[in-house]
Amino acid sequence: MNHALRRISAAFAEAGVSGRLHAVDIDSGAEIDAGADHPVVTASVHKLCLLVALHRQAAAGRLDLTEQVECPPADRTAGPTGLAAMLDPVRVSLRDAAYLMTAVSDNAAADLLLARMGLDGVNEATAGLGLTRTRAVHTFRSLFATIREDAGPAGTRALADPQVLARLRALDPARSNRSTPRDMTRLLAAVWRDEACTPEHGAAIRRLLGLQVWPHRMAAGFPFDDVHVAGKTGSLPTVRNEVGVVEYPDGGRYAVAVFTRAANPAAVLPAADAVIGATARIAVDALRAR
């Protein structure tokens, strides 16, 4: 395990990021801890918590997943995907909004669900699962509003300035949506063991996580037709994250959480994306070697 930890540390350093990782064999409990209990900014990884909260409420009969909600263009959280990028009025079911939130990380869809459940509903779900270090304090609209406020009049151009980045509340785990790598693998393991929800709802959550379209982070570390990766990414300025479950054809299944911060403020850093898959692979290989 020490060899794996050294390789993980070296990979983060070579990619120009600081990283925190936790990986666990869902069935045996064997783990790799590379900063597992360090507080981290979740960014869109917190949509996993929303997804679980939604299905826990549905399982309890507190909402109907086929319920229709309106998403008018004048009152829509901004973003580059899904409803957030659309121009016309939309009516969608809660479960289809959950699909958009999970598969393409749609911010508008996430905030539709938050409007229905509330931040308290999400925090109730994570607390109920024993995730004591995980908390949602912002909707995605309010999270992005803090970035605009903290960046000042120069707007997004200021996000290349290290001094501006240092004052962003969105990048401070004490003031943003937050968790730890261990909490996130615990949540994933609970979903895969049908402990987070009833089996019907657990299967629905696993299906949606398996439909995520982004292959450039965790999935890039497992380029095999018979290995399945289901997960959720998260991104903010300098932040690149992914949590997911890697399933092998022999039945092995591994929950992995990787959270990174880049020294370079550039929006496009392929090495910073790729190191998430590379370190996840090192961790899973070490667990399988046991």
Provide the pLDDT for residue 240: 98
Specify the amino acid at residue 11: A
Domains of the chain: 2-289 (3.40.710.10)
Q: What does the alpha-carbon distance between residue 102 and residue 206 come to, in Å, rounded to a whole number?
A: 11
Provide the pLDDT for residue 178: 98
What the block records as the tokens of 83 is 């409803």
259 closest CA partner among 38, 98, 25: 38
Residue 253 — φ and ψ, nearest 5°?
-145, 135
Q: What does the alpha-carbon distance between residue 65 and residue 129 come to, in Å, rounded to a whole number?
A: 21
Residues in the chain: 290
Q: What does the alpha-carbon distance between residue 118 and residue 169 come to, in Å, rounded to a whole number?
A: 21
Query: What is the full per-residue pLDDT of the chain (290 aa) written as tens digits?
Result: 789 999 999 999 999 999 999 999 999 999 999 999 999 999 999 999 999 999 999 999 999 999 999 999 998 999 999 999 999 999 999 999 999 999 999 999 999 999 999 999 999 999 999 999 999 999 999 999 999 999 998 888 889 899 999 999 999 999 999 999 999 999 999 999 999 999 999 999 999 999 999 999 999 999 999 999 999 999 999 999 999 999 999 999 999 999 999 999 999 999 999 999 999 999 999 999 98
Provide the pLDDT for residue 146: 97
Residue 169 — φ and ψ, nearest 5°?
-60, -30
